[in-house]
Structure 1
Amino acid sequence: MRIHPAGLGLLALWLGVAGASQGQVTEEQFEARALPALAIEEPYDFHRQHAEGLPPRPRDPDERPRDDEIEIGAGWSVEIPADASAPLVAAGEELQRYLKEAMGVEVALKRPDRIDGWRERPRTIVAAARDAMPGLGDPLKASKDYRITVAGDAVAVCGHDDRGAMYGLYNLVMRFSLREAPYLPRDLDTVRHSLYQARMTLSGLGWMEWPDRYLATLPLYGFDAIHCSIYRNPNNAPGADPHWSDRDIRKHPPGAMKDLTRRAARFGIDVYAPLLYHYTGTPENVEGLRKLVRDVLAEFPEIRGYVLLTEGFYYRKWFGAGGQGDEDLRAWVREWSKAVAIVAEEAHRINPKVEILPWEYNVAFSPDQAETKAYVMTQLPESTIPLLTFENGKSFELDGQKGYLRDYAISQVGPAEVTQAQLRAARERNFRAVYSKADTFASWQFGTFPYLPFPYQWHERYKALEEWKVDGTLESWSYGFKPNWVAEMRAWYAWSDAPPLDDLLRRIARREFGAGGEDDVLAAWKSFSEAIRVYPDTGPNWGSNNAVASPLFFAKPKPRAMTLGHSWSDQGLWSGQSQLNPYWPYVPSRLVFWPDFTNQHDAARGYTAFFTVPVFQKYLKLSADRMEEGLLRYRRAALRAPEAKRQAAFREVLLAEQLRRMMLSGHAILEFEQQRLALARSTDAAERRELLRSMTALLREEKGRTTSARETARRDSRLGYEWEQDYIYTPDTIQEKLDLIDDTLDRQIPAYRREHGLEEEQP
């Protein structure tokens, strides 16, 4: 740890001399305060916390209602009609729980037979669908719309339907949380229209892991659905699929899917599920598909929709995205669309309302494939709802070198050129709706983080989704959902009549860091948002996900797991199946930078893809530098936070620090590899000595950064985790990297110097 014994005293002296309002806090100075103040967490601690239910942010005891506000306090009640649906009742119970646990206010929950004369009901929050509240619901147009009105000391929450009233109650919780007290404006009268027919997410805890307290958070953040049982048919039926085999994908226990749909429904959460099938078009195969649809819908009539993702629902041969060529792709699309039509026909014969969502993710999405992707829209039956990938394939340019996003990312807002073409083509037809897989709070670009603090960039995506009239969204994939302030911001912008961005962010900043720090926090978030805009995309690889734990190899290491160099088994095939590199078996092999130890190929050049290494490194460093610009103010805001908020503020800063470290470690690994390759190819002693000096200095710098990354991961068990692979890095795997750095510095480089006669002369 980079903590000096006198760190606390030195920092206190520094703050006293320079003043927190003027001084710039370095990473080392911040760590000296933050790390000792935060408890150590074990891996999966976050999982337990979310399963039990995170405690709500407490009321600020210093807050008092303004003259233009009313206070919800002692003697108040929440009234919901006796015939209200279970989700609306649950929302009332959640509001009651929140007021007690966070605001210190106990309110009664009443269930009268009739809701009328709400204005004459003092100290009452009345929530119901518009039929029960004549006149109030006239402006409401569709499900999930709601109106909140304050009159005297009464509050009306009127929904277009029960689900709208439910979301209105959850919005009250959001308002109290932002205000840090149970206060509402006396003149509050807001009509909010839902911008999306559906907003679904995946679990951030694990495959099919949806505990009740976790489910209860989803409507608070504006979600109305979950996508679950990924890569497994809901009835556990095999997909007749050699790529996604029973050997690889676990089955859920008997009754688990039924239980989940029942529990989710209590909170107003619908369920979407995948449908997997290997379609070949033969009569027997077609009948098998029809039978699968009939069986699934008969067993699960509650499921709202089925996602037909090409990773599991495909024609003849599965393929990865890109490189198939126009002619073959179009032929494949036509046959795949026939399979989609069979599903839609069979499903709608049973239930006309069920949603069928074809998602052709694996059809190439590079910008030159726009016509092919649009062609898909001409082949799908109009009774389906296309699910489009929002940003993948979006082009961008760095110093005249052109590339495109190769996986989910937020460095580009989107939509991609291919998605724009699809949206235009879809509008020419009469689809039920058009949905999109669109990240809104986290992304695979930094897939080992629970959320990404780039609010201004995220807001640009929210605007783009609205401008392109996307009707529904799937808003997470590998990383899933974990409650966070960016997802809270997203919830506001999923309805109309949201606050102006800076107003909302200022209130979030005040809540998270305390009064007086808002300017620093907003400035930091602007810098972070600028940083991600210049970040060069790497695709679904090690750099932005595992760089703080990815090793720097000076020489090919000894194997740490079974190797197959001399047996009849093929090492490459075995490693491909296991996804493990036996020389570094801590993560899937694609999440480790692996040099070409024959020194024939530049692995760094292969990693940077579209860009030369110097251009890629330039923008990676620029992104890290802009993160540091923001961190200077972020650290200061956290150190000035009131004591009650300081630990949470420290965690916010450390998450941003880890993002910057990911960028700098990625830069260091590529630089080290360039120098290692140059060393292997050099025959000049002076040049080799200089390379060794530079590599030694780089390793020492990376050691300090990696030590900080380890200490941060020890204090935040969310870091390094994403449910598809559990932990990509833990403090223990970061320690393995540190051990290798020490071995390289203490043994490998000195041995190389001795072997090649390159030992430094002693002064």
Structure 2
Amino acid sequence: MERNYDFRKRLEVVHKPNRRDSSVRAEAGELEISEDWRIVIDEAASPLLVHTAKDLQDYLFTSMNVSVRLLRVKDIAETLALQERVIVLATSEQLPAMGDKLEKPRSYRIVAQQSRIIVCGYNERGAAQGSYFLEDQMNLREAPVLACSDVTREPLFSPRMAHSGWGLDRYPDSHLNALAHAGIDAIMVFVKDVDETPEGYQDFNYLVDRAELYGLDVYVYSYLISRLHPDDPDAKQYYESTYGRVFKACPRFKGVILVGESCEFPSKDTNTTGKLRLDWPADQPQTKPSPGWWPCQDFPQWLNLLSGTIRAHNPDTDIVFWTYNWGWAPEEDRLKLIRALPENITLQVTFEMFEQIRNEHVTHVCVDYTLSNVGPGAYFSSEAEVARERGIKLHAMSNTGGLTWDFGVIPYEPFPGQWNKRHEALKKANQDWGLSGLMESHHFGWWPSFVSEIAKWAYWSPSPSYEEALAMIAKRDFGEAAAPLAVEAWNAWSEAITHYIPTNEDQYGPFRVGPSYPLVFRNAMFKKAVQMPAVKHAMFGNEIVLTDYDPLEDPRQSLGVTRIDVEIRSLERMLELMETGNELLEEALKRTPDRKREDGVRMLGLGQFIARSIKTTIHVKQWWKLKRQLLSEGDTGKALALMERMEELARREIANAEATIPLVEADSRLGWEPSMEYMTDTAHLRWKMKQVQSVLDNEFAQYRKSLALTDSMQ
């Protein structure tokens, strides 16, 4: 049983102990690293390269039970020529003959021979990635054994950005190390002011220092307020006091991410209110979007002002403009903005959103963010095409760190087949439109998993196929006898997610928190809607959970009353497939060696938690349907019959919540999300059970009293 936040202890472990299978020995065409080998770096090696060498030494000791020496030498080329049983870590500058064909930053060449291994990176970051690749290979072999080979590999995307999965804007060294090992090369931090995040003080320069030791850049995710229009007389001074102040204090920030909802300004575009969202009078109807939700014609003017302000302190700052909030807007207006953007900015577009998707006889709109729709959507494709025409650098919000808003309080979505389709679609976008960078998670964070491993394999060239990589990972993690069943389970899960229909009411409702989501009957007079318990230090807490479930309407999709039965049927099919996968994984675990079973059991718990979240969402939809019927039913007898059905449904959901408790107690990451903190731990599940029981004991009793005051129509 884990206590809350115990998952962080697991995140501290970058090199898994005792991976070595003592029965594995080098075969023909392979080499084996033994304790008479040494890791060698140049005496002028950078701090990053020194850190990488220490990391490899620790990996061999911790994971492979091999203790090797680490040496600095004056002439790395001479050492390479004369010494044997060495692992040489160097850059193309130090070994020009080895690295003369390396062209991309972070690319590397590895030459593995019987008596030596040479890792030559385009730069220090390339050498580090090459060293991590050695670890990947040995992990799959489960021994300090490598194939003799000469391989050159390069990344397909940079940056690959992610938010922390340890805690909101919290980056312990171990988490930075894990991110780097996974091929991530940039992190994001929410910024409100100099050294200020939504949770309070943080030394940004120190964060940049530590990130550099792992080959990671740091991007600002702007939460800075923009109260002036560029035409305002004091605009230049104002923005110097905000954005300029931040980049003057920390000029080594790699870039800044600007998204409408977080940094809108008082646009003069007549299609908008012209006011910031929170400045609109509460007693006035709002018939136009706020500027942060429209492709305003004066965004280019605002971006030019910010560009000059920021780049006065760092000329190379990557200014990323993200069009997320108005992907719904008419294509003509969106593309007019893209055609007017400054050429020296980066355009970021969400990959799968805003698609109108037909399900049976109704239309749904793809909301943010989901794996169920692979992408690219028409919104992405249209803006990517114009970016290509203009030669503007293009990024995608891809969520390929392994998580979306499909399920709000899980560490990752274990649907490798669907992730593979997303990876392939992104690689095609790279070929078609020059897509170069990825934002791989939002504030729900990044988590190391077999899914993040598959992403790493996909985003480097050359690499094994998806099927080959999946089979190797399954064999490593479950053993040869259980691996085929594990792959079958993953395939069933991967099909399951294709039956998920993303809606705002579900993603802000039962899928946001899973089985702790309440069943609301009626809100009492003069009382607020039911609120889930939340800690005061959370950035969002319960603010992004809508508890009084009701379909949220949109003119681009069918009405909720016509959609809901289609959604229930689709989720029932999804649940069947999840449970099939769970059964297959249970069978696989029976064949898994004891030393590998712990992680597999935790993966099964994740699959079971997802299944219970699907059950909750089905129950919530059924509750809404019955409640809607009940509240419009004037016949006492029929109303009482409906209440009996609702009571039976409520009891099933109480049982579902109770059955979830062992899952969250076994894995403290289940039920938690960085911006909300815990929303589905044991305490929240018991709160939900009590809330639903209170509906049955009190609200239903009161409703029956009211019904008794009306004679039956029969």
Pairwise TM-score range, normalised by the shorter structure: 0.7 to 0.9
Please report how far the alpha carbon of residue 750 of structure 1 lies from its aligned counterpart in structure 2 after TM superposition: 7.0
For the Cα contact (< 8 Å) 1:119–1:151, is it kept in 2? Answer: no
Q: Secondary structure at the match of 1:79?
A: strand
| 1:251-306 CA distance string (max 9 Å, x none) | 324xx111111111111111111342413120202332145444333322221112
- Which of 519, 524, 531 matches 2:496? 531
Q: What residue number does 1:318 align with?
A: 276
- Which of 274, 285, 309 matches 2:221? 274
Residues 292, 703 of structure 1: CA spacing in aligned structure 2 closer, same or farther, 3 A cutoff?
closer
Q: What residue number does 1:190 align with?
A: 151
- In 1, the alpha carbon distance for the partners of 2:462 and 2:54 equals 26
Please tell me whether residue 259 in structure 1 is matched to residue 206 in structure 2: yes
Please tell me whether residue 739 in structure 1 is matched to residue 669 in structure 2: no
Q: What residue number does 2:306 align with?
A: 343
User: What is the percentage of aligned positions where both structures have the same residue?
Assistant: 27
Please report how far the alpha carbon of residue 71 of structure 1 lies from its aligned counterpart in structure 2 after TM superposition: 1.3
Please report how far the alpha carbon of residue 411 of structure 1 lies from its aligned counterpart in structure 2 after TM superposition: 0.9
Please report how far the alpha carbon of residue 589 of structure 1 lies from its aligned counterpart in structure 2 after TM superposition: 5.5
Residues 157, 430 of structure 1: CA spacing in aligned structure 2 closer, same or farther, 3 A cutoff?
same
- In 1, the alpha carbon distance for the partners of 2:308 and 2:82 equals 53
Structural mapping, 1:612-631, within 5 Å = 612-631=563-582
- Which of 233, 243, 251 matches 1:283? 233
Structural mapping, 1:237-636, within 5 Å = 249-253=198-202, 256-275=203-222, 276-278=224-226, 279-281=228-230, 282-316=232-266, 317-319=275-277, 333-362=296-325, 364-366=326-328, 369-431=330-392, 433-440=393-400, 441-469=402-430, 470-539=435-504, 540-554=507-521, 556=523, 565=526, 581-582=529-530, 584-586=532-534, 588=542, 590-594=544-548, 603-604=550-551, 612-636=563-587
For the Cα contact (< 8 Å) 1:357–1:385, is it kept in 2? Answer: yes
Q: What residue number does 1:568 align with?
A: none
Q: Secondary structure at the match of 2:463?
A: coil
Q: Which residue identity is paired with 1:730?
A: D
For the Cα contact (< 8 Å) 1:348–1:354, is it kept in 2? Answer: yes
Residues 745, 225 of structure 1: CA spacing in aligned structure 2 closer, same or farther, 3 A cutoff?
same
- Range with bigger deviation, 705-714 or 651-660: 705-714
- In 2, the alpha carbon distance for the partners of 1:543 and 1:333 equals 34
Please tell me whether residue 650 in structure 1 is matched to residue 601 in structure 2: yes
| 1:163-219 CA distance string (max 9 Å, x none) | 111110011111122222211112x22211111231111111223311112212121
- In 1, the alpha carbon distance for the partners of 2:636 and 2:24 equals 70
Please report how far the alpha carbon of residue 234 of structure 1 lies from its aligned counterpart in structure 2 after TM superposition: 3.7
| 1:326-385 CA distance string (max 9 Å, x none) | 9989996222221111122333344332211122322x212x633333223212211111
- Which of 86, 91, 109 matches 2:70? 109
Please report how far the alpha carbon of residue 233 of structure 1 lies from its aligned counterpart in structure 2 after TM superposition: 3.1
- In 2, the alpha carbon distance for the partners of 1:389 and 1:309 equals 11
- In 1, the alpha carbon distance for the partners of 2:547 and 2:263 equals 32
- In 1, the alpha carbon distance for the partners of 2:234 and 2:647 equals 65
Residues 328, 510 of structure 1: CA spacing in aligned structure 2 closer, same or farther, 3 A cutoff?
closer
- In 2, the alpha carbon distance for the partners of 1:331 and 1:661 equals 38
Residues 298, 752 of structure 1: CA spacing in aligned structure 2 closer, same or farther, 3 A cutoff?
closer
- In 1, the alpha carbon distance for the partners of 2:614 and 2:493 equals 12
Please report how far the alpha carbon of residue 101 of structure 1 lies from its aligned counterpart in structure 2 after TM superposition: 1.0
Please report how far the alpha carbon of residue 708 of structure 1 lies from its aligned counterpart in structure 2 after TM superposition: 1.9
For the Cα contact (< 8 Å) 2:356–2:365, is it kept in 1? Answer: yes
Residues 299, 609 of structure 1: CA spacing in aligned structure 2 closer, same or farther, 3 A cutoff?
farther
Please report how far the alpha carbon of residue 110 of structure 1 lies from its aligned counterpart in structure 2 after TM superposition: 1.4
Q: Which residue identity is paired with 1:739?
A: K
- In 1, the alpha carbon distance for the partners of 2:293 and 2:488 equals 48
Q: What residue number does 2:102 align with?
A: 140
Please report how far the alpha carbon of residue 684 of structure 1 lies from its aligned counterpart in structure 2 after TM superposition: 4.6
Q: What residue number does 2:56 align with?
A: 95
Structural mapping, 1:65-84, within 5 Å = 65-84=26-45
- Range with bigger deviation, 628-637 or 289-298: 289-298
Please report how far the alpha carbon of residue 514 of structure 1 lies from its aligned counterpart in structure 2 after TM superposition: 2.0
Please report how far the alpha carbon of residue 222 of structure 1 lies from its aligned counterpart in structure 2 after TM superposition: 0.5
- In 1, the alpha carbon distance for the partners of 2:199 and 2:672 equals 19
Root mean square deviation of aligned Cα: 2.8
For the Cα contact (< 8 Å) 1:658–1:712, is it kept in 2? Answer: yes
Q: Which residue identity is paired with 1:588?
A: N
Please report how far the alpha carbon of residue 740 of structure 1 lies from its aligned counterpart in structure 2 after TM superposition: 3.4
Residues 405, 605 of structure 1: CA spacing in aligned structure 2 closer, same or farther, 3 A cutoff?
closer
| 1:315-336 CA distance string (max 9 Å, x none) | 213359xx98799899962222
Q: Secondary structure at the match of 1:552?
A: coil
- Range with bigger deviation, 347-356 or 84-93: 347-356
| 1:504-553 CA distance string (max 9 Å, x none) | 11111122222211111111111111111121102341122223111223
- In 1, the alpha carbon distance for the partners of 2:571 and 2:297 equals 41
Please tell me whether residue 699 in structure 1 is matched to residue 659 in structure 2: no
- Range with bigger deviation, 585-594 or 384-393: 585-594
Q: What residue number does 1:716 align with?
A: 667
Q: Secondary structure at the match of 1:149?
A: strand
Q: Secondary structure at the match of 1:101?
A: helix
For the Cα contact (< 8 Å) 1:395–1:417, is it kept in 2? Answer: no
For the Cα contact (< 8 Å) 1:79–1:109, is it kept in 2? Answer: yes
Unaligned runs of 5+ in 1: 1-39, 237-245, 558-562, 566-570, 576-580, 596-602, 759-763
Please report how far the alpha carbon of residue 655 of structure 1 lies from its aligned counterpart in structure 2 after TM superposition: 0.1
Please report how far the alpha carbon of residue 387 of structure 1 lies from its aligned counterpart in structure 2 after TM superposition: 2.0
Q: What residue number does 1:216 align with?
A: 177
Q: Secondary structure at the match of 2:516?
A: coil
Q: What residue number does 1:156 align with?
A: 118
Q: What residue number does 1:668 align with?
A: 619
Unaligned runs of 5+ in 2: 267-274, 279-285, 535-540, 710-714
Q: What residue number does 1:20 align with?
A: none
For the Cα contact (< 8 Å) 2:510–2:620, is it kept in 1? Answer: no
For the Cα contact (< 8 Å) 2:516–2:680, is it kept in 1? Answer: yes
Q: Which residue identity is paired with 1:529?
A: S
Residues 752, 299 of structure 1: CA spacing in aligned structure 2 closer, same or farther, 3 A cutoff?
closer
For the Cα contact (< 8 Å) 1:333–1:379, is it kept in 2? Answer: no
- In 2, the alpha carbon distance for the partners of 1:81 and 1:394 equals 53
- In 2, the alpha carbon distance for the partners of 1:106 and 1:206 equals 33
- In 2, the alpha carbon distance for the partners of 1:428 and 1:459 equals 28
Q: Secondary structure at the match of 2:623?
A: helix
Q: Which residue identity is paired with 2:646?
A: M
Please report how far the alpha carbon of residue 637 of structure 1 lies from its aligned counterpart in structure 2 after TM superposition: 0.8
- Which of 637, 643, 663 matches 2:588? 637
For the Cα contact (< 8 Å) 1:81–1:113, is it kept in 2? Answer: yes
- In 1, the alpha carbon distance for the partners of 2:519 and 2:291 equals 41
Please report how far the alpha carbon of residue 457 of structure 1 lies from its aligned counterpart in structure 2 after TM superposition: 0.8
Please tell me whether residue 227 in structure 1 is matched to residue 191 in structure 2: no
Q: Secondary structure at the match of 2:175?
A: helix
For the Cα contact (< 8 Å) 2:31–2:113, is it kept in 1? Answer: no
Q: Secondary structure at the match of 1:152?
A: coil
Q: Which residue identity is paired with 2:321?
A: P
TM-score, normalised with respect to structure 1: 0.82
- In 2, the alpha carbon distance for the partners of 1:495 and 1:69 equals 23
Residues 296, 669 of structure 1: CA spacing in aligned structure 2 closer, same or farther, 3 A cutoff?
closer
- In 1, the alpha carbon distance for the partners of 2:263 and 2:705 equals 58
Residues 605, 373 of structure 1: CA spacing in aligned structure 2 closer, same or farther, 3 A cutoff?
closer
